[in-house]
Amino acid sequence: MALRLVLKPHERLIVGGAVLRNGNARAEFMIENTVPVLRERDILSPSTATTPCSMIYLALQLMYVEPQHRDSHRATYDTLVNDVLTAAPSTRDLMTRVNEHLEAGRYYHALKVARELLTYEHTLLANAHRS
């Protein structure tokens, strides 16, 4: 079954490692084979990965869209996860869920759970700021 994408004007997406930008009008695409796809709202740029969990998300994103460099991104990911678990053991359940998807090769699903991790990190940081 094909993946149907409807893009807003000027919306970006990554398809198989290539960054694409839509033109001035809304567009519809059908992707008929299995390839990594990330819409703009799910893309995190290296310059915006400023927190430990956002760096984890970025490493996962790169594992997903750059399979040829997956091993090096995985090493970075493993280091970051260990650091976060040491600093914030309460993230263990979310990290476990991310890792389950990662080990099964479900990178997009790992990214979806990692978005939950980003929300949780935001809550932790806001609580720490208030204290």
pLDDT in tens, 50-86: 999 999 999 999 999 999 999 999 999 999 999 999 9
- Cβ atoms < 10 Å from Cβ of 122: 13
pTM of the predicted protein model: 0.91
pLDDT at residue 87 greater than cutoff 80? yes
Task: List C-alpha distances in Å: 4 to 13, 28, 60, 115.
Answer: 13, 7, 23, 22
pLDDT in tens, 93-127: 999 999 999 999 999 999 999 999 999 999 998 88
* Same domain? 31 vs 55: no
Please compute, for residue 6, the number of CA atoms within 13 A of its CA located in the half-sphere on the CB side.
1
* Same domain? 109 vs 80: yes
* Same domain? 75 vs 15: no
What is the span of the domain harbouring residue 52?
Answer: 46-130
* Same domain? 8 vs 71: no
* Same domain? 50 vs 9: no
- How many domains does the chain divide into? 2
* Same domain? 99 vs 117: yes
